[in-house]
């Protein structure tokens, strides 16, 4: 059985830990204590439940994708509709949790990093809701790719700070957020958006996202009377995947597939296939798989999807990969674009480019499986934010 | 006794405080860094921190980030830096300390890194993103090889100070301010108290860094600390050297090098006589 609770050092097997400047160690220790205290507090639990249900609209549905199933002619496909959350992605589950934690521990100000902008939007949303001051760090290149989300954040009162260092994407936004946190650690709560970063963040984010898997379990038992055979989710940092995987980790019959962004192909230099092509290293405070050169310099990742454009991965995924409990497979930009269009056309659901990677894997997989095989796909977000860049990528469409 | 301990003992005997400059290796070229280190040694630097350039320097502000980028763009990698230190070792009096992020050490191999450090004659290592809790392997490797792994103590360390000091080697690097490296206008008012607090927990020398950028600041810190670390203020003066190199203006390059060295000398000057107890 896979061990999935981090040990005292914050390790999932060989991965995880706290590789951060000494300045942050006290804050991380405090966060561990606060997390322990508040997540057992009935008041915290009741408030979180209230906001998840009444504000975000949970539970999200588990939708039988009949048209897609018939078109692919194999396994039975269900979509876990995280795209139906308020703000259009699973990110809000975690932001409500961490935002409440910030609020209850008396912090007036939060910061966040964002890639596609979904986590930034979710953080800005929760900040508006809870009356917190909010600053979001976003790579300059991503600001360009995701103008709509930048506008949404500003509309809700957040300050958006461009990260101009390095590759000017999610990795650098995270560097900037950590640097900012080191300077303002005494009055600022850092809401990390994925199952990455130093302990206890990978655990905290997973725990706030496991509601995806908990609901899926209940819903599939109700609909099918049994557990699914396969669960598929896209992985950048890996929070939607960890959220849907986690409640099934001990059910050996359930195959877990994480889908990485292969960008222009795993035989090129432009990809974000961390498990497929990386090796253990340290990024953003955590020991995990990492795209790097032989001397440990972090290599730039590439994906058409800003949310998957990340050279690391959550340490618990690294552990699930090393212990072979989960499998991680690459999907290219082109395959994701095809899946983006296919789901739109067949089901009338426009998926986020991130989620399109998971759909693309299902498009490959489902036809090879019998009709009584049940696949659940985490549809982690809606694709409205991506329409502009998809139109550009497909060419000839003037938006 | 380690070379670093020896350096501090000698300074203490003379009533001096340590001047500890930092440069990013390979910024803008290994050759220029080598020349600058020789000059820093000549003007009386006591310990020289040599930064191994890294793509994601989390603890550094824009000045040192840019320096690392210049070095990386010039193709400088770990082996070049280590070879430079090997060449410099017999030529300099100062103790040499490698400043590197954890991942390059991890990729080189922790044990192998400290073996290499000993072999090339490095006296100490600073790893800003390797807190005590993750340091056991490195501490053991450092001890086996007689290289000091210098710990950092931050303004937020509070009750952690005693355990940080207990495992300390060489000296204690006292981080003067919250945040990343970079010059700040004023010295943190609580700094004397923080240093005094650290000194209650250790007999190791305490050097102060992060944000120190002028001879005046060096003089003030020298009153209560055993050493003053200056990074960004020096590295900022490497930028025009890099520009001159890029422009192929050798005359300007030499002039800018002299400016940097003169600035360094001005930082050392107030540390030559101890003000403690005056």
Q: Could you tell me whether strands A255-263 and A230-234 are parallel, antiparallel, or unpaired per DSSP bridges?
A: parallel
Tell me the shortest Cα–Cα distance from A277 to chain B, in angstroms.
16
Q: Residue B59: left if φ>0, alpha if ψ -120 to 50, beta else—which one? A: alpha
Contact between B77 and B105 (Cβ < 8 Å): no
Contact between B18 and B227 (Cβ < 8 Å): yes
Contact between A383 and A336 (Cβ < 8 Å): no
Residue predicted with more confidence, A289 or B185: A289
Contact between A90 and A80 (Cβ < 8 Å): no
Beta bridge partners of B230: B21
A336 has a pLDDT exceeding 80:
yes
A396 has a pLDDT exceeding 80:
no
Residue reference for tokens 């630097």: B45
For residue B207, what is the enclosing H or E element?
A: strand B206-209
B247-273, pLDDT tens digit by residue? 999 999 999 999 999 999 999 999 997
Contact between A279 and B54 (Cβ < 8 Å): no
Measured distance CA(A86)–CA(A176) in Å, rounded: 27
A4 has a pLDDT exceeding 80:
no
Phi/psi for B8 (5° steps) reads -65, -35
Q: Is the dihedral of CA B217, B219, B223, B227 positive or negative?
A: positive
Contact between B183 and B204 (Cβ < 8 Å): no
Contacts of B129 in chain A (CB under 8 A): 19-21, 282, 285
Name residues whose C-beta falls within 8 Å of residue B111's C-beta, 6 or more positions apart in sequence.
Answer: B137, B141, B144
B184 has a pLDDT exceeding 90:
no
- Minimal-distance CA residue of chain B relative to A289: B103
Residues of A acting as catalytic residues: 91, 113, 380
Calculate the CA A45 to chain-centre distance. 22
Domains and CATH numbers, chain A: 11-53+90-201 (3.40.50.1100), 57-88+210-394 (3.40.50.1100)
H/E/C letters for each residue in chain A? Answer: CCCCCCCCCCEECCEECCCCCHHHHHHHHHHHHHHHHHCCCHHHHHHHHHHHHHHCCCCCCEEECHHHHHHHCCCEEEEEEHHHCHHHECHHHHHHHHHHHHHHCCCCEEEEEECCCHHHHHHHHHHHHHCCEEEEEEEHHHHHHCHHHHHHHHHCCCEEEEECCCCCCHHHHHHHHHHHHHHHCCCEEECCCCCCCCCCHHHHHHHHHCHHHHHHHHHHHHHHCCCCCEEEEECCCCHHHHHHHHHHCCCCCCEEEEEEEEECCCCCCCCECHHHHCEEEEECCEEEEECECCCCCECCCCCCCHHHCCCCCCHHHHHHHHCCCEEEEEEEHHHHHHHHHHHHHHHCCCECHHHHHHHHHHHHHHHHCCCCCEEEEEECEECHHHHHHHHHHHCCCCC
DSSP per-residue string spanning B260-276: HHHHHHHHHGGGSS--T
Residue reference for tokens 């490095």: B122
Contacts of B178 in chain A (CB under 8 A): 23, 182-186
Phi/psi for A16 (5° steps) reads 110, -140
Phi/psi for A50 (5° steps) reads -60, -50
SS3 B22: strand
DSSP per-residue string spanning B94-158: SEEEEE--HHHHHHH-HHHHHHHHHHHT--EEE-TT--GGG-HHHHHHHHHHT-EEPPEE-TT-G
B277 has a pLDDT exceeding 80:
no
Contacts of A280 in chain B (CB under 8 A): 106
Name residues whose C-beta falls within 8 Å of residue A268's C-beta, 6 or more positions apart in sequence.
Answer: none
Contact between A343 and A81 (Cβ < 8 Å): no
Cβ distance A22 to B106 less than 8 Å, yes or no, reads no
User: ipTM exceeding 0.90?
Assistant: yes
The CA-based angle B240-B245-B249, given to 5 degrees, is 95
Domains and CATH numbers, chain B: 3-271 (3.20.20.70)
B56-94, pLDDT tens digit by residue? 999 999 999 999 999 999 999 999 999 999 999 999 999
Measured distance CA(B151)–CA(B167) in Å, rounded: 8
The packing angle between helices A91-104 and A42-50, to 10°, is 140
Contact between A89 and A118 (Cβ < 8 Å): yes
Cβ distance B54 to A297 less than 8 Å, yes or no, reads yes
Interface test with A, best of B82, B156, B161, B190 (most A CBs within 10 A): B156
Query: Which two tokens mark A45?
Result: 């639990």
A271 has a pLDDT exceeding 50:
yes
Smallest Cβ–Cβ distance between B160 and the set A25, A185, A298 belongs to A25
Share of chain A above pLDDT 90, in %: 91
Smallest Cβ–Cβ distance between B102 and the set A19, A23, A294 belongs to A19
Q: What is the mean predicted confidence (pLDDT) over A12-29?
A: 96
- Minimal-distance CA residue of chain B relative to A298: B55
Beta bridge partners of A280: A289
Contact between A331 and A42 (Cβ < 8 Å): no
A49-99, pLDDT tens digit by residue? 999 999 999 999 999 999 999 999 999 999 999 999 999 999 999 999 999
Query: Which two tokens mark B236?
Result: 């900022």
Cβ distance A23 to B175 less than 8 Å, yes or no, reads yes
Share of chain A above pLDDT 70, in %: 98
Cβ distance A282 to B58 less than 8 Å, yes or no, reads no
SS3 B92: coil
Q: What is the mean predicted confidence (pLDDT) over B231-243?
A: 97
Contacts of A175 in chain B (CB under 8 A): 56, 58
Query: Which two tokens mark A149?
Result: 């989300």
Give the model's pLDDT for residue B219: 96
Chains A, B: CB contacts under 8 A, how many? Answer: 122
Give the model's pLDDT for residue A116: 81
Whether the ω angle into residue A368 lies within 30 degrees of 0, i.e. cis, is: no
B182 has a pLDDT exceeding 90:
no
Q: What is the mean predicted confidence (pLDDT) over B179-192?
A: 86
Measured distance CA(A50)–CA(A351) in Å, rounded: 27
Mean pLDDT score across all residues of chain B: 95
Query: Which two tokens mark A197?
Result: 């970063």
Residues of B acting as catalytic residues: 49, 60
Calculate the CA A78 to chain-centre distance. 19
Name residues whose C-beta falls within 8 Å of residue A252's C-beta, 6 or more positions apart in sequence.
Answer: none
Q: What is the mean predicted confidence (pLDDT) over A91-115?
A: 97
Q: What is the mean predicted confidence (pLDDT) over B222-231?
A: 97
Within an 8 Å CB–CB cutoff, is residue B188 touching chain A? Answer: no
A155-213, pLDDT tens digit by residue? 999 999 999 988 888 999 999 999 999 999 989 999 999 999 999 999 999 999 999 99
Model confidence at A151, pLDDT cuts 50, 70, 90, reads very high
Beta bridge partners of A135: A111, A159
A1 has a pLDDT exceeding 50:
no
Question: What is the model's pTM?
Answer: 0.96
Interface test with A, best of B101, B131, B136 (most A CBs within 10 A): B131
Beta bridge partners of A137: A113, A161
Within an 8 Å CB–CB cutoff, is residue B180 touching chain A? Answer: yes
Cβ distance B151 to A178 less than 8 Å, yes or no, reads no
Give the model's pLDDT for residue B186: 82
DSSP B168: -
Interface test with A, best of B79, B129, B198 (most A CBs within 10 A): B129
Tell me the shortest Cα–Cα distance from A10 to chain B, in angstroms.
10
Model confidence at B274, pLDDT cuts 50, 70, 90, reads low
Contacts of A297 in chain B (CB under 8 A): 54-55, 72, 77, 104
Q: Tell me the CA distances in angstroms from B38 to A46, B17, B44, B245, one per residue in order.
A: 65, 20, 10, 19
Q: Could you tell me whether strands B47-51 and B18-24 are parallel, antiparallel, or unpaired per DSSP bridges?
A: parallel
Give the model's pLDDT for residue B48: 98
């Amino acid at each position: 059985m896979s061990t999935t609770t981090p040990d005292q050092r914050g390790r999932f097997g060989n991965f995880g830990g706290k590789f951060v400047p000494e300045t942050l160690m006290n804050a991380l220790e405090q966060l561990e204590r606060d997390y322990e205290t508040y997540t057992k507090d009935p008041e915290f639990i009741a408030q979180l439940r209230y906001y998840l249900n009444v504000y975000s609209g949970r539970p999200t549905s588990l939708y039988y994708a009949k048209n897609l199933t018939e078109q692919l002619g194999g396994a039975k496909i269900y979509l876990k509709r995280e795209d139906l959350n308020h703000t259009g992605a699973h990110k809000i589950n975690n932001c409500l949790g961490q935002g409440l934690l910030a609020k209850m521990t008396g912090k007036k100000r939060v910061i966040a990093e964002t890639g596609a902008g979904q986590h930034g939007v979710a953080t800005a949303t929760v900040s508006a809701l809870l009356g917190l001051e909010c600053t979001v760090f976003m790579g300059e290149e991503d600001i360009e790719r995701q103008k709509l989300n930048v506008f949404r954040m500003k509309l809700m009162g957040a300050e958006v700070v461009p990260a101009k260092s390095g590759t000017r994407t999610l990795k650098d936004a995270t560097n900037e957020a950590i640097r900012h946190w080191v300077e303002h650690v005494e009055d600022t709560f850092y809401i990390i958006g994925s199952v990455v970063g130093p302990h206890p963040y990978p655990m905290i984010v997973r725990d706030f996202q496991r509601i995806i898997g908990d609901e899926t379990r209940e819903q599939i038992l109700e609909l099918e009377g049994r557990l699914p055979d396969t669960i598929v989710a896209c992985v950048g940092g890996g929070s939607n995947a960890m959220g849907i995987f986690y409640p099934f980790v001990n059910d050996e019959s359930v195959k877990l597939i994480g889908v990485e962004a292969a960008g222009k192909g795993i035989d090129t230099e432009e990809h974000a296939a961390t498990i497929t092509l990386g090796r253990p290293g340290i990024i953003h405070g955590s020991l995990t798989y990492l795209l790097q050169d032989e001397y440990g310099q972090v290599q730039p990742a590439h994906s058409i999807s800003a949310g998957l454009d990340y050279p690391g991965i959550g340490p618990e995924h690294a552990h699930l990969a090393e212990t072979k409990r989960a499998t991680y497979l690459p999907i290219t930009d082109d395959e994701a674009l095809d899946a983006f269009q296919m789901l739109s056309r067949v089901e009338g659901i426009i998926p986020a480019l991130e989620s399109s990677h998971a759909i693309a894997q299902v498009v490959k997989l489902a036809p090879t499986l019998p009709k009584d095989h049940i696949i659940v796909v985490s549809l982690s977000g809606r694709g409205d934010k991506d329409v502009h860049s998809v139109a550009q990528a497909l060419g000839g469409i003037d938006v | 006794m380690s070379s670093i301990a020896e350096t501090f003992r000698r300074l203490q005997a003379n009533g001096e405080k340590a001047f500890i400059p930092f440069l990013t290796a390979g910024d803008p070229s290994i050759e220029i860094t080598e020349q600058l280190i020789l000059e820093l040694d000549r003007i009386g630097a006591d310990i020289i921190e040599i930064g191994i350039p890294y793509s994601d320097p989390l603890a550094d502000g824009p000045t040192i980030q840019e320096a690392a980028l210049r070095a990386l763009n010039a193709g400088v990698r770990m082996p070049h830096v280590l070879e430079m230190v090997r060449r410099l070792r017999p030529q300099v009096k100062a103790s040499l300390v490698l400043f590197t992020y954890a991942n390059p050490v991890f990729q080189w191999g922790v044990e192998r890194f400290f073996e290499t450090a000993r072999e090339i004659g490095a006296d100490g290592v600073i790893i800003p993103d390797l807190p005590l809790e993750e340091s056991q392997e490195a501490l053991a490797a450092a001890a086996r090889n007689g290289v000091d792994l210098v710990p950092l103590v931050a303004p937020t360390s509070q009750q952690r100070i005693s355990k940080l000091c207990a495992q300390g080697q060489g000296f204690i690097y006292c981080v003067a301010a919250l945040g990343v490296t970079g010059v700040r206008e004023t010295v943190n008012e609580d700094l004397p108290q923080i240093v005094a607090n650290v000194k209650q927990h250790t007999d190791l020398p305490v050097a102060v860094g992060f944000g120190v950028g002028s001879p005046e600041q060096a003089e003030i810190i020298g009153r209560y600390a055993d050493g003053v670390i200056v990074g960004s203020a020096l590295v900022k003066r490497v930028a025009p050297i890099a520009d001159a190199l890029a422009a192929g203006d050798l005359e300007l390059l030499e002039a800018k090098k002299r400016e940097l060295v003169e600035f360094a000398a001005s930082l050392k000057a107030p540390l030559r006589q101890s003000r403690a107890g005056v």
